[in-house]
Amino acid sequence: MYKPLVVITGKNGQLGWELSQLKVLNNFQFDFLFIDKDEMDLSSPESIPYFFKQHKPQYFINCGAYTLVDKAETEKELTRAINATSVGVIAAECAKIDCTLITISTDYVFDGNGTSPYLPNQATDPLNYYGLTKCEGEELAVKNNPKTIQDIMPLLL
């Protein structure tokens, strides 16, 4: 029986690993492929199209990110490659194969003064370089793939 493929990046990161541990995923009619930088290196955006030639997912959940917030201020090139440029390339590759992209946000894209959960339609005002690159990644995702979902929280509310 055919099952649509869902690719999830960041399998060794906090969010990706937590998702991989959810037993409930076995109840869905999908095949899940959890990947890390060995399968697709987000620090090398030029390598991403090769991954998409090998795998043709119907859904792509990007949990991978450069999350060392303080180091992002000094490792700007690497941070931008992972959090912005690669997200834009992933979105473009998804668009080529009509794949829905879900990209996960962070509160760092906002000003930090919120008193309730942030929603994707709220104005951004990144707190730091990390937040700036995550914001840029979200903008590139939406620009490069009309089937991008910026955050799943509104779907869960």
Q: Which residues are catalytic, by number?
A: 130
Q: What is the DSSP string of 71-92?
A: HHTT-HHHHHIIIIIHHHHHHH
**Structure token digits, residue 50:** 């090769």
Cα–Cα dist 25/27, whole Å: 5
Cα–Cα dist 87/45, whole Å: 8
Q: Count Cα atoms within 13 angstroms, Cβ side, for 78.
A: 10
Cα–Cα dist 119/105, whole Å: 10
